[in-house]
């Protein structure tokens, strides 16, 4: 028996539920639009409710988008803040069977066909214009395979991935803030022989790593600077002149005990103007096959300055006032406050000792890792060993360092347990608003129902709008969000439906053009030797082709264009027993290539719930035996 998708009863039911669904989202959009006019951009009722509880009522929208790294899951996740609801996952350095990331041709083009699919993402950062988030891109590093990826914020898909040559393990990643994000700054962490071709493996004293600048638009590596020591975290200033990185291994050791020997390691400052001038003047070398200019920034170079700071420093965070940056001591209970307004003097000969830029070096507690800011002159530093967030006053810390008797520590809040990064709403921009702080705790221990030996982490939401920090919410997260960034929703303009001319599937469209196919209407099969290209459309609940014939051993490319124009009606394509599945969202084209290696009837079906007849949205690949 055939079910008629145009059956009146069925379609009436679907129309009804769509209308209800669209009706409610339209109301929300309306409410949001009204809110925009009221003193900034928040929904007044949401703001009141969330300030009190951190909760967002069902049907209400969050005030902030949070971008979380997925650590060694390799992805990026979007959380709503303050609800801490997980809104979306963006596969980056991993495979995803729901969306087909790592499986579809479009994603393989981004990943490169030979790319590793295990990643270790740490630091998601949004592009800037004039020190403010511009809603365009989010960049993220992959420590595991020395890559940097870019996510387009209109479609929330990864659109470029760059492997950085000559180095190993990209860790710290921050962006140029001013005048705009021209460069993505990426620290390579591990020291290796240069060149690393097997020659000098035992000569540890010659191991070096590099600071890397990637062009944010082309995603090509613009230049690399060789440094002394290794590189951990980095940040940039609000003048656009400097970037700076912590180094925990100034010893140049390869064993842990060696890396802990010195009482002070350093922060290395990169002079962007001078580096650009040196590149222009041809003062660089090439290493191996890479065409990237490699410059010498080791001690004594005019491109860099080395500021000694205690001990195995980790976090490097610029305050929103543009005046100070904080290096967290990790193995020292101190943080070092650097005066960015004195950084010119590191390069013009006015300072005999680079420590002259240290504005304060004060004790906070055990294991300081990362610092966040509220835009009101306060800093919030995670204390890994003490399992606390310490709130401190930057100006008072400077006075205390100068010998005045002032208490710069305002509050210590226990968190559960052992925080790594923390992040405030808009806190890494000149628009820091001091509303919420998220503490990314590395251990959850007893905070959640036990789920076996492997534990979730615990991201805790803290209200910092008042004088006192108040814990609002525990949020379990799977391995391992090192870091997050939180951006006000007024900065974001994601698409709800794909545009037909999106460059994300331009190559697929070019292939169709060559085959004389119009993706928006054709349901056709093109054969070229043993390569078969199957083009079809989809409209809920039908594939344009309910069957197609191939021969065993054919290489089959299935390209599907989703003609639905209704928000949220995504289809899927899964070929049973072939490891093939993918997402096709409204107005998207997606394609996948596989070998039809099994004879007989092979069913395919839609695996994204799209319609009352979603189960029936299927078809047969008929494979003639070889």
Q: Is 265 annotated as a binding residue?
A: yes
State yes or no: residue 235 binds ligand K7E (CB under 6 A): no
- From the CB of residue 256, how many other CB atoms can be counted at a distance below 10 Å? 8
Residue 498 backbone phi and psi in degrees, to 5: -65, 150
DSSP state of 364: -
Buried b (16+ CB within 10 A) or exposed e, 474-499: bbebeebbbbbbbbbbbbbeeeebbe
CB of residue 540 to ligand CUA, shortest distance in Å: 5
Buried b (16+ CB within 10 A) or exposed e, 44-54: eebbebbbeeb
Residues 161/372/55/37 CA torsion (nearest 10 deg): -80
Can you give the length of the chain in residues? 626
User: By CB neighbour count within 10 A (0-12 exposed, 13-18 middle, 19+ buried), where does 260 fall?
Assistant: middle
CB of residue 561 to ligand CUA, shortest distance in Å: 13
State yes or no: residue 542 binds Ca ion (CB under 5 A): no
Buried b (16+ CB within 10 A) or exposed e, 345-374: ebbeeebeebeebbbbbbebbbbbbbbbbb
| Rounded Cα distance, 162 and 581, in Å | 25
State yes or no: residue 369 binds ligand K7E (CB under 6 A): yes
Q: Is 251 annotated as a binding residue?
A: yes
Find the binder of ligand K7E among 54, 82, 253, 420 (CB under 6 A).
420
CA pseudo-torsion sign 90, 134, 268, 300: positive
Find the binder of Ca ion among 127, 312, 425, 460 (CB under 5 A).
312
Q: Is 509 annotated as a binding residue?
A: no
Instruction: Return the one option of Ca ion, ligand K7E, ligand CUA, none that residue 571 interacts with (CB less than 5 to 8 A, by type).
Output: ligand CUA
State yes or no: residue 488 binds ligand K7E (CB under 6 A): no
Site for ligand CUA in 553-582 (CB under 6 A): 571
CB of residue 123 to ligand K7E, shortest distance in Å: 6
CB 419 within 8 A of CB 386: no
State yes or no: residue 482 binds ligand K7E (CB under 6 A): yes
Instruction: Return the one option of ligand K7E, ligand CUA, Ca ion, none that residue 312 interacts with (CB less than 5 to 8 A, by type).
Output: Ca ion
Tell me, residue by residue from 506 to 545, as one string, x for binding to ligand CUA by CB under 6 A and - for no binding: ----------------------------------xx----
In the complex with Ca ion, the residue whose CB is nearer, 176 or 312, is 312
Find the binder of ligand CUA among 217, 609, 622, 624 (CB under 6 A).
609
In the complex with ligand K7E, the residue whose CB is nearer, 125 or 171, is 171
CB of residue 328 to ligand K7E, shortest distance in Å: 9
Pair of tokens at residue 36: 């925009």
CA pseudo-torsion sign 471, 475, 479, 485: negative
- List, as residue ranges, the binding site for Ca(2+): 248, 251, 259, 265, 312, 442, 457
The binding site for ligand CUA (CB under 6 A) comprises: 540-541, 571, 606, 608-611, 614, 617
The binding site for ligand K7E (CB under 6 A) comprises: 122-123, 171, 233, 314, 369-370, 420-421, 482-483
- List, as residue ranges, the binding site for Cu cation: 122-123, 171, 314, 370, 421, 482, 571, 606, 608, 610, 614, 617
């Amino acid at each position: 028996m055939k079910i008629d998708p145009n059956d009146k009863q069925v379609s009436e039911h679907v129309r009804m539920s769509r209308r209800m669904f669209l009706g409610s989202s339209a109301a929300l959009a309306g409410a949001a639009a009204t809110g925009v006019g009221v003193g900034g951009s928040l929904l007044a009722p949401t703001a009141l409710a969330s300030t009190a509880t951190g909760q967002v009522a069902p049907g209400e929208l969050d005030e902030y988008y949070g971008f979380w790294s997925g650590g060694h899951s390799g992805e990026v996740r979007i959380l709503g803040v303050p609800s801490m609801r997980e809104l979306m996952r963006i596969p980056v350095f991993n495979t995803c069977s729901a969306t087909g990331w790592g499986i579809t041709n479009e994603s393989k083009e981004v990943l490169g066909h030979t790319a590793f699919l295990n990643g270790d993402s740490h630091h998601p950062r949004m592009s800037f214009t004039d020190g403010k988030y511009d809603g365009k891109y989010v960049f993220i590093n992959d420590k595991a395979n020395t890559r940097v990826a870019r996510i387009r914020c209109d479609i929330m898909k990864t659109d470029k991935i760059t492997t950085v040559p000559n180095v190993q393990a990209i860790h710290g990643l921050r962006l140029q803030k001013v005048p705009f994000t021209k460069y993505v700054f990426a620290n390579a962490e591990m020291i290796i022989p240069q060149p690393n071709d097997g020659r000098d493996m035992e000569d540890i004293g010659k191991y070096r790593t590099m600071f890397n600048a990637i062009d944010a638009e082309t995603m090509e590596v613009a230049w690399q600077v060789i440094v002394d020591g290794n590189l951990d975290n980095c940040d940039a200033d609000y003048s656009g002149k400097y970037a700076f990185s912590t180094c925990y291994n100034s010893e140049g050791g390869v064993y842990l005990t060696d890396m802990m020997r010195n009482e002070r390691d350093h922060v290395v400052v990169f002079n962007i103007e001078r580096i650009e001038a040196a590149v222009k003047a041809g003062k660089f070398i090439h290493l191996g096959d890479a065409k990237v200019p490699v410059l010498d920034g080791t001690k004594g170079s005019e491109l860099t300055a080395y500021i000694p700071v205690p001990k195995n420093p980790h976090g490097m965070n610029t305050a929103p006032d543009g005046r100070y940056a904080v290096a967290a001591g990790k193995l020292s209970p101190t943080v070092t406050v650097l005066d960015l307004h004195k950084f010119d003097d590191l390069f013009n000969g006015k300072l005999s000792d680079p420590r002259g830029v240290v504005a304060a070096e004060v004790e906070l507690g055990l294991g300081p890792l990362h610092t966040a800011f509220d835009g009101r002159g306060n800093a919030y530093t995670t204390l890994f060993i003490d399992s606390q967030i310490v709130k401190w006053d930057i100006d008072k810390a400077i006075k205390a360092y100068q010998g005045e008797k002032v208490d710069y520590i305002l509050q210590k809040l226990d968190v559960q347990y052992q925080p790594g990064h923390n992040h405030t709403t808009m806190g890494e921009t000149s628009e820091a608003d001091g509303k919420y702080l998220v503490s990314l705790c590395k251990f959850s221990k007893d905070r959640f129902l036990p789920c076996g030996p492997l534990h979730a982490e615990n991201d805790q939401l803290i209200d910092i709008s008042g004088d006192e920090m108040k814990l609002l919410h525990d949020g379990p997260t799977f391995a391992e969000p090192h870091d997050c960034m939180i951006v006000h929703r007024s900065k974001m303009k994601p698409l709800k439906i794909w545009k037909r001319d999106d460059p994300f599937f331009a190559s697929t469209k070019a292939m169709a053009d060559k085959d004389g196919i119009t993706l928006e209407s054709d349901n056709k099969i093109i054969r070229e030797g043993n390569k078969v290209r199957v083009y079809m459309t989809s409209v809920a609940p039908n594939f344009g082709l309910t069957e197609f014939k191939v021969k065993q051993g054919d290489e089959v490319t299935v390209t599907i264009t989703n003609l639905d124009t209704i928000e949220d009606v995504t289809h899927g394509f899964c070929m049973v027993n072939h490891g093939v599945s993918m997402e096709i969202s409204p107005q998207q084209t997606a394609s996948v290539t596989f070998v039809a290696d099994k004879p007989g009837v092979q069913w395919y079906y839609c695996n994204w719930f799209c319609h009352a007849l979603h189960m029936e949205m299927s078809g047969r690949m008929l494979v003639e035996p070889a």
